[in-house]
With several copies, the nearest count.
Chain A
Amino acid sequence: MPRGTMIEAIRDAVDVMIARDERVVTFGQDVGYFGGVFRCTEGLQKKHGPHRCFDTPISETGIVGIAVGMAAYGLRPVAEIQFADYMYPAYDQIVSEAARLRYRSAGDFTSPLVIRMPCGGGIYGAQTHSQSPEALFTHVCGLKTVIPSNPHDAKGLLIAAIEDDDPVIFLEPKRLYNGPFDGHHDRPIVPWSKSEHGELPEGYYTVPIGKASVQRAGADVTVLAYGTMVHVAEAAANETGVDAEIIDLRTLVPLDIETIVTSVSKTGRLVIVHEGTRTSGFGAELAAEVQERCFYHLEVPIQRVTGWDTPYPHALEWNYFPGPDRVGRALLKAMEA
């Protein structure tokens, strides 16, 4: 199986879909000629023409606004927001429009669009290039929220998202673009080409939205994670020796509750890990659901290991990031009781 980066995976997915489906167009700031600041659309304008891949003005409101109109017309727009931190000007169009159009028109009009955005920290991007706002999407009914942790899933999920008839928020952990990252920022960087998780099949394929994957089987504690945190959790399990079952959620809404409940019913212990801020983060929803469904299986309190309730700081990035040390301590604590 060939290997590739997450950037290549995303580019491939859009490329394959533009070629397969004349409804697919992609656009965003610097997306056209330049190919995006992370180069996820590099070469696509040259290959497919500006009417399939183009630059937009710096207006997230406008980017998502035209995407809703295009999707209502029948296209399959794939809009890029340059950083998830800059999605807020588009939030009204996402929440009030894309998410509700099918419902309010009882299916007369729909909004099958994809909004891609790099998220997460680990690149010294400080508070406006590091955010993980997934909970602001999961709270909004009508949106699907997807976040891959490796190139294979990124490509397959993005193709599935483009084919999906509902609006999909597609979060890309930017720290994973060029290689897996387990939180040990002081160790040498591993590229995807050197990682067992770096497989990137060619051509068209999909990874289903709504299905989690078990990244690492284990018997003692369940860990729910997504994006970068999947790799951090794996490192923490290996380093503590705790026999953790690590579930990579891949899709947050709709959630793969079955896989989660099966695992927690077995282990009786749960640690939830995410990079976004803690209060009202997506971990809260996971904890609330699991405590209700697995109450009589749980042997210890569910723990959340998350970003702190502060903006993402620049110099203190690694004090903010929930790294393998913090996750490892939670695993050990879960085993204590």
Chain B
Amino acid sequence: MLQSRSAPTPSLHFPESPTRPEHAGDYSEVVFSAAGEVERPAPDADLAAFRDHAGRLIRVLDDEGRACGPWAQPSDPQALRNGLRAMLKTRAYDARMVRMQRQGLTSFYMQCTGEEAIACAFQAALAKGDMNFPTYRQQGLLIAQDWPLVDMMCQVLSNAKDRMKGRQLPVFYSAPDAGFFSISGNLGTQYVQAVGWAMAAAIHGARKIAVAWIGEGATAESDFHAALLFASVYRPPVVLNVVNNQWAISSNQAVAGGAQSTFAARAQGYGIPSLRVDGNDYLAVRAVGDWAAARARNNLGPTLIEFVTYRVAPHSTSDDPSKYRARNDQSAWPLGDPIDRLKMHLIGIGEWSEERHVALQAKLEAEVSQAAAEARSYGTLHDGPKASPATMFEDVFKEAPWHLREQRQALGY
């Protein structure tokens, strides 16, 4: 069957960012829902119960900071204050590390500004023994557990106390005791590994769950498909998290296929229940995290969660978003700031105040400063003690074979 004479000229669609430096910021296309509007399915509901969730947005906090709807959990002010503290501390940590990078104390840094609620609230849904397979933007998972900042900083500074022995790029932490898997520089690879880890836990009957993390840009990688498929087939205790912060370096989420369907929708094509959540709403993230973790723990199989958020900071310290984003891009973002929103909620329920907030902020900044001073005392990338060159040849294998010993000797060690 040939096309009719009137068939349109063939052409391709090239997805474009809604906004570029020459425009005003515009996120009016982001699909969202009013707070409290989206139902909470039974954890063992049929896939059909999730169909609409892929196109909507679970939100608990409304514009006035009130918790509402079926995803609002019984209030636990202390837990929420802990969450606020974790987010504030993460932000203070990021700010300090960027400064240290600018001072030339290390080569590189990556912030999670604006996305703090996701890692901080999700971590609260996890238990000792669970394992996160994070990306470079989930430092909040460590900070929410009060993992020693000095330890993190020493990794960033590649100094003598860097447990990674200066091998990894800054922010590529590893902390088995915190359920934090070693970060890979290769996007996506850890997503399917999390599925394998969860399979192993289930094979051995261990009551542990795995959590996979990926950016919306990296869902394009092959490992994302493999992870969804294997999770669908074997139904291991894994939660598959997608952090959609709208940007992958310079390319908008539309380039990752976000304009044709949501990232949550991907999972349903594999028969995996999925939810889409306001990632700047601490209460929503926590509620959905609890829900998905419980599903995994109760052998009900994998869940995919798309967290909708916004990357406030540059991609990394090597990046300059003024080259590709609208100048007022951030202010056009409709879902606000996670810290401001949780603060408003806590103040609204009478469990927080401006004064306590300012005091906490100051205390955390002091804590971060003190940690920074201590970390610096162990050296920095270009200055002071660091791992001996002899260590470069360790851990390639459990024991260095002759050729690595020879090479070490050739280097003079």
Q: Whole-angstrom distance between the alpha carbons of A22 and B205 in the complex?
A: 12
**A85 and B249 contact, Cβ closer than 8 Å, known pairs A34-B323, A66-B230, A254-B401:** no
Q: Nearest CB to that of A320 among chain B residues?
A: B392
Contacts of A254 in B (CB 8 A): 397, 401-403
Q: Nearest CB to that of B133 among chain A residues?
A: A69
- B181 and A58 within 8 A (CB): no
Q: Is A205 an interface residue (CB 8 A)?
A: no
- A57 and B227 within 8 A (CB): no
- A75 and B230 within 8 A (CB): no
**A65 and B167 contact, Cβ closer than 8 Å, known pairs A166-B397, A254-B402, A309-B403:** no
* B186 interface neighbour in A50, A74, A77, A92, Cβ under 8 Å: A92
Contacts of B176 in A (CB 8 A): 108-109
Q: Is A129 an interface residue (CB 8 A)?
A: yes
Contacts of A92 in B (CB 8 A): 186, 189, 222-223
Contacts of B12 in A (CB 8 A): 51
Contacts of A103 in B (CB 8 A): 167, 395-396
Q: Nearest CB to that of A316 among chain B residues?
A: B392
Q: Whole-angstrom distance between the alpha carbons of A89 and B218 in the complex?
A: 12
Interface bracket on B: 35 or more
Contacts of A142 in B (CB 8 A): 396-397
Nearest Cβ distance between residue A108 and chain B, in whole angstroms? 5
Contacts of B199 in A (CB 8 A): 66, 69-70
Q: Is A56 an interface residue (CB 8 A)?
A: yes
Q: Is B203 an interface residue (CB 8 A)?
A: yes
- B217 and A58 within 8 A (CB): yes
Nearest Cβ distance between residue B88 and chain A, in whole angstroms? 28
Nearest Cβ distance between residue A281 and chain B, in whole angstroms? 12
- B248 and A67 within 8 A (CB): no
- A126 and B256 within 8 A (CB): no
Q: Which of A58, A86, A102, A311 gathers most chain B CB within 10 Å? A: A58
Interface bracket on A: 35 or more
Q: Is B386 an interface residue (CB 8 A)?
A: yes
Nearest Cβ distance between residue A188 and chain B, in whole angstroms? 16
- B387 and A25 within 8 A (CB): no
**A37 and B221 contact, Cβ closer than 8 Å, known pairs A65-B189, A85-B185, A315-B381:** no
Q: Nearest CB to that of A53 among chain B residues?
A: B14
**A125 and B169 contact, Cβ closer than 8 Å, known pairs A33-B17, A105-B164, A316-B389:** yes
- A104 and B164 within 8 A (CB): yes
- B398 and A102 within 8 A (CB): yes
- A59 and B185 within 8 A (CB): no
Instruction: List B165-192 residues whose CB lies under 8 Å from chain A.
Output: 165-170, 172, 174-176, 181-182, 184-189, 192
Q: Whole-angstrom distance between the alpha carbons of A59 and B231 in the complex?
A: 13
Cβ contacts A52-89/B at 8 Å (1 or 0 each): 00111111111001111110111101000000011011
Contacts of A319 in B (CB 8 A): 389, 392, 411
Cβ contacts A102-134/B at 8 Å (1 or 0 each): 111111111000000000000011111100000
Contacts of B387 in A (CB 8 A): 315-316
Nearest Cβ distance between residue A121 and chain B, in whole angstroms? 12
- A65 and B169 within 8 A (CB): no
Q: Is B55 an interface residue (CB 8 A)?
A: no
Contacts of A65 in B (CB 8 A): 189, 192-193, 195-196, 223, 226-227, 230
Q: Whole-angstrom distance between the alpha carbons of A58 and B395 in the complex?
A: 30
Q: Is A288 an interface residue (CB 8 A)?
A: no
Contacts of A314 in B (CB 8 A): 107, 158, 166-170, 381
Contacts of B174 in A (CB 8 A): 104-106, 108-109
Q: Whole-angstrom distance between the alpha carbons of A255 and B248 in the complex?
A: 39
Contacts of A66 in B (CB 8 A): 192-193, 195-196, 199, 230
> Ordered nearest first, which 6 A-B pairs have the shortest CB separation?
A69-B196, A128-B185, A315-B166, A66-B196, A65-B192, A62-B226
Residues of B within 8 A of A (CB): 11-12, 14-17, 20, 107-108, 131, 133, 158, 162-170, 172, 174-176, 181-182, 184-189, 192-201, 203-204, 210, 217-218, 220-223, 225-227, 229-230, 233, 248-251, 255-257, 318, 323-324, 381, 386-387, 389, 391-393, 395-398, 401-404, 407, 411
**With A58-B187, A105-B182, A314-B158 already in contact, 16 other A-B pairs whose C-beta atoms are closer than 8 Å:** A25-B203, A33-B17, A50-B14, A54-B14, A57-B229, A62-B227, A65-B230, A69-B197, A73-B200, A86-B187, A105-B174, A124-B381, A126-B168, A142-B396, A257-B402, A309-B407
9 contacts between A and B (CB under 8 A): A33-B20, A58-B256, A65-B196, A72-B197, A85-B185, A86-B186, A104-B167, A105-B182, A309-B407
